[in-house]
Amino acid sequence: MTETFGQSHVLIGNADCRILTFGTRSEIRAEVERCIAAGKKCPGYFMCVSGHIPANVPVENALYYNEVYNELRRR
């Protein structure tokens, strides 16, 4: 999607909430890195968990997801 539509459309999503729910810190970091790499060149890319972060995601995992995102978000 990013290669085909990334320069002309807004793209939202891509993070896998299963990793946020059940993953380790290293798996969460890898997921954020994967998403950031996919959308970094797209001016209309918004990284998020599709459907938002569900209530069953451990708070520590959601906070770590946000921490890694803040670290890597600059283009």
Domain-by-domain residue ranges, the chain?
2-72
The confidence score (pLDDT) of residue 18 equals 93
What pLDDT, on a 0 to 100 scale, did the predictor assign at position 6? 77
In this prediction, residue 48 carries a pLDDT of: 83
Over the stretch 13-27, which tens digit does the pLDDT of each residue have?
Answer: 789 999 999 999 999
pLDDT at 42: 85
Residue 69 corresponds to which amino acid?
Y
Residue 31 near residue 19, CB atoms below 8 Å: yes
Q: What are phi and psi of 67, to 5 degrees?
A: -60, -45
Q: How far apart are CA 7 and CA 39, in angstroms?
A: 10
Read off the pTM: 0.84
pLDDT tens for each residue of 25-66: 999 999 999 989 888 888 888 888 877 888 999 999 999 999
Residue whose structure tokens are 């993070």: 15
Radius of gyration in angstroms for the set of CA atoms belonging to the chain, rounded to a whole number? 12
